[in-house]
C-alpha cells in the first residue's frame, strides 16, 4: 500500500480548499473567543471571525501575528503561553519548547492526551510514507525539549528504541542498532552523522552492518552539507528531510525526494513576500505564514514564522496532492553585501568543500544589515592548527569562486561553534 490514508493524502485541490475553509470556520471563533492575543490582534485590526466567509477573505483581511508580538505578550503579561492558550490549563499534557537558535526558546504547550494531539495523524502518514510500518522498531535519537517524539512512533503502532542525542553516545547507537534491528531512524543532523561515523571507526563497527536493517532515516534541523550527505550515502539508507512548519505543523520528504509535504488539512500555509503581504510565485523564495486548523490548544493564526521557503502547490508525482516546500533559511539570517542578499545556504557548499572545514560549521558575522564585504567565522576540525593560514586561503578561494566576492575569514575550532548550538544547529548569523 502506498498511503497510510489514501483518501486524506490524495484529496483534490477543491476538496482541500473546502476542508480548510470549514476548519477555519471552527477555529477562528474558538481562537477569538479563548486566546487573548488573537482577540487583541483582531480587534486592533477591526476584523471579526464572522467577516471571514472565504479563503480569499482570510488572506485579505486576517491580521498577522509574529514572534516579536508573542515575545512581548509573554514578557509584558508574564504569561508563559504568550496569550495563546485556549483550553483550561489542566488540559495541557506536555510543554515543549522551540530550539531557541535565534533567541529565547518559545514554549509550546500541547495536548497529547486522550482528546488527540494536533499533529499525530499527519505524523503517521509521514512515517508510512518513508517506508516504516506498524510493528517495526524505530530508533529515536532526539533531544527532550522537542517533546515526546517516541509518542508519535507509539501512536503509529511501532516500537521506539531510545538513544540520547549526544555525540558521545553513538557507540551505544551502534550497539542498539545491532541488537534491536530498527527499520527507521529519527533524527540525524550533521553533528550526529559525523559522530556515528567516528563511533564506527573507534568501536570497530562496520557501518554496512549497523545500518543493514534500516529502510529510512530522517534528517532534521539544518540541511546536511555535502560531506555529511556523502557519509550517509555510504550507509546505503534513503534519507528523508524533515522540518517544522511555522511551529504549527510538520513537513517530510516523500519518496520522490523533491520537496517536503506538509498536511493541508491540519495547517493552512501561505508563502508571502518577506517584506510585504503579497504571495510570491510558485517555487519562489518567500516567508512561510502558517495557520493552525486543528490544534485547539494553542492555535497560531496567520503566524509569520520568519522561515524563508520555496513552495509549490503542483501535485507531486508520488500522488499526494498536499503542497510541498523547500527550506531555504531564516529571514533574520540574511545579510546584504553591496546590494546583494546572501543567506547561509548560499555560502555553505563553499565552506564544506574545504577538507578542514568539512563539518560546515560557520557563521555570517553581521555588523550591520548592509555591508561592503562578507565576513565569515568558520570552524575547523582537529589536527590542522599548524596550517591555519593555508586553510583560511582555501576557504576564501572557495567562497570567492562561488559568490564572485572575496570574504574576510576568521577561523575558530569547530568545538567553539558547537557550544553555541541547542544542539542540532547553531546560530548562522552572529553580531561581531
Ligand atoms: Zn510526494
Which of 30, 17, 105, 56 has its CA nearest to residue 301? 30
Which of 196, 110, 200 has its CA nearest to residue 146? 110
- 92-to-83, 112, 114, 190, 261 alpha-carbon distances in Å: 14, 8, 11, 33, 28
Residue 177 has which C-alpha cell?
542498532
Predicted local confidence at residue 247, as pLDDT? 82
Return the C-alpha torsion angle 173, 177, 183, 188, nearest 10.
20
> Cα of 254 to ligand 1 centre, how many Å?
5
Residue whose entry in the numeric block shows the C-alpha cell 517516541: 150
- Degrees (nearest 5) of the Cα angle 421, 307, 269? 135
Q: Please return the burial class of 315, using the count of CB atoms within 10 Å of its CB with bins 0-12, 13-18 and 19+.
A: middle
> Cα of 265 to ligand 1 centre, how many Å?
16
* Segment 235-278, tens digit of pLDDT: 999 999 999 898 888 899 999 999 999 999 999 999 999 999 99
The C-alpha atoms of residue 432 and residue 426 are separated, in whole angstroms, by 16
> Cα of 98 to ligand 1 centre, how many Å?
27
The C-alpha atoms of residue 46 and residue 27 are separated, in whole angstroms, by 18
The C-alpha atoms of residue 342 and residue 183 are separated, in whole angstroms, by 39
Mean pLDDT, residues 337-345 taken together: 86
CATH, domain 6-119+244-331, list 3.40.50.300, 3.40.250.10, 3.40.50.12780, 1.10.15.40: 3.40.50.12780
> Cα of 391 to ligand 1 centre, how many Å?
41
- Degrees (nearest 5) of the Cα angle 24, 314, 215? 95
Which of 242, 247, 295, 278 has its CA nearest to residue 116? 295
131-237 and 334-430 share one CATH topology?
no
Residue whose entry in the numeric block shows the C-alpha cell 495523524: 121
> Cα of 321 to ligand 1 centre, how many Å?
8
> Cα of 151 to ligand 1 centre, how many Å?
25
Neighbours of 164 (CB within 10 A): 14
- Degrees (nearest 5) of the Cα angle 347, 349, 351? 70
> Cα of 155 to ligand 1 centre, how many Å?
23
Predicted local confidence at residue 21, as pLDDT? 98
End-to-end, the C-alpha distance of the chain in Å comes to 53
> Cα of 259 to ligand 1 centre, how many Å?
7
The C-alpha atoms of residue 2 and residue 109 are separated, in whole angstroms, by 33
Instruction: Band the pLDDT of 116: cuts 50, 70, 90.
Output: very low
> Cα of 323 to ligand 1 centre, how many Å?
9
* Segment 155-211, tens digit of pLDDT: 899 999 999 888 888 999 999 999 999 999 999 988 899 899 999 999 999 999 999
Angle between helices 36-45 and 13-34 (to 10 degrees): 100
Mean pLDDT, residues 67-81 taken together: 92
> Cα of 255 to ligand 1 centre, how many Å?
7
Q: Does residue 335 have a cis bond before it (omega within 30 degrees)?
A: no
> Cα of 190 to ligand 1 centre, how many Å?
24
CATH number, domain 131-237: 3.40.50.10090
> Cα of 13 to ligand 1 centre, how many Å?
15
> Cα of 317 to ligand 1 centre, how many Å?
6
> Cα of 127 to ligand 1 centre, how many Å?
13
In sequence order, what are the residues at sequence separation of 6 or more whose Cβ sits closer than 8 angstroms to the Cβ of residue 212? none
Query: In the chain, what are the domain boundaries?
Result: 6-119+244-331, 131-237, 334-430
- 135-to-3, 158, 182, 222, 339 alpha-carbon distances in Å: 17, 5, 10, 30, 55
In sequence order, what are the residues at sequence separation of 6 or more whose Cβ sits closer than 8 angstroms to the Cβ of residue 368? none
The architecture (CATH level 2) of 334-430 comes to 2-Layer Sandwich (3.30)
Predicted local confidence at residue 114, as pLDDT? 42
Residue 353 has pLDDT above 80, yes or no: yes
Residue 237 has which C-alpha cell?
539508507
- For the chain, give the mean pLDDT: 90
> Cα of 311 to ligand 1 centre, how many Å?
13
Neighbours of 260 (CB within 10 A): 23
Amino acid at each position: 500500500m502506498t498511503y497510510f490514508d489514501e483518501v486524506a493524502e490524495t484529496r483534490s485541490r477543491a476538496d482541500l480548499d473546502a476542508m480548510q475553509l470549514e476548519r477555519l470556520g471552527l477555529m477562528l471563533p474558538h481562537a477569538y473567543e479563548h486566546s487573548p492575543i488573537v482577540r487583541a490582534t483582531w480587534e486592533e485590526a477591526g476584523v471579526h471571525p464572522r467577516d471571514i466567509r472565504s479563503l480569499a477573505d482570510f488572506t485579505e483581511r486576517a491580521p498577522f501575528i509574529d514572534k516579536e508580538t508573542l515575545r512581548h505578550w509573554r514578557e509584558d503579561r508574564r504569561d508563559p503561553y504568550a496569550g495563546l492558550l485556549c483550553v483550561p490549563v489542566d488540559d495541557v499534557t506536555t510543554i515543549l519548547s522551540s530550539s531557541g537558535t535565534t533567541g529565547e526558546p518559545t514554549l509550546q504547550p500541547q495536548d497529547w492526551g486522550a482528546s488527540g494531539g494536533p499533529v499525530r495523524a499527519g505524523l503517521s502518514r509521514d512515517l508510512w510514507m518513508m517506508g516504516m510500518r506498524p510493528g517495526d522498531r524505530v530508533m529515536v535519537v532526539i533531544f527532550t525539549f522537542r517533546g515526546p517524539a517516541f509518542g508519535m512512533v507509539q501512536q503509529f503502532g511501532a516500537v521506539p528504541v531510545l538513544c540520547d542525542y549526544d555525540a558521545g553516545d553513538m557507540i551505544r547507537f551502534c550497539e542498539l542498532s545491532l541488537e534491536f534491528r530498527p527499520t527507521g531512524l529519527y533524527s540525524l543532523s550533521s553533528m550526529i552523522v559525523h559522530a556515528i561515523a567516528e563511533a564506527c571507526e573507534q568501536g570497530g563497527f562496520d557501518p554496512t552492518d549497523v545500518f543493514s536493517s534500516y529502510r529510512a532515516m530522517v534528517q532534521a534541523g539544518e540541511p546536511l552539507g555535502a560531506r555529511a550527505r556523502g557519509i550517509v550515502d555510504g550507509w546505503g539508507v534513503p534519507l528523508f528531510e524533515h522540518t517544522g512548519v511555522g511551529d504549527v505543523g510538520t513537513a517530510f520528504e516523500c519518496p520522490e525526494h523533491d520537496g517536503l509535504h506538509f498536511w493541508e488539512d491540519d495547517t493552512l500555509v501561505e508563502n508571502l513576500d518577506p517584506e510585504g503581504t503579497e504571495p510570491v510565485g510558485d517555487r519562489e523564495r518567500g516567508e512561510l505564514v502558517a495557520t493552525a486548523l486543528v490544534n485547539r490548544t494553542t492555535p497560531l493564526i496567520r503566524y509569520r514564522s520568519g522561515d524563508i521557503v520555496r513552495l509549490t502547490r503542483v501535485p507531486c508525482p508520488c500522488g499526494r496532492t498536499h503542497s510541498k516546500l523547500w527550506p531555504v533559511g531564516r529571514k533574520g539570517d540574511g545579510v546584504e553585501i553591496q546590494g546583494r542578499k546572501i543567506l547561509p545556504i548560499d555560502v555553505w557548499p563553499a565552506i564544506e568543500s574545504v577538507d578542514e572545514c568539512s563539518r560546515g560549521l560557520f557563521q555570517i558575522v553581521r555588523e550591520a544589515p548592509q555591508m561592503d564585504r562578507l565576513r565569515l567565522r568558520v570552524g575547523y576540525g582537529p589536527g590542522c592548527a599548524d596550517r591555519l593560514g593555508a586553510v583560511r586561503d582555501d576557504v576564501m578561494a572557495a567562497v570567492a569562486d562561488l559568490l564572485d566576492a572575496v570574504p574576510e575569514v576568521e577561523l575558530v575550532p569547530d568545538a567553539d561553534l558547537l557550544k553555541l548550538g541547542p544542539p542540532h544547529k547553531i546560530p548562522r548569523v552572529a553580531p561581531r
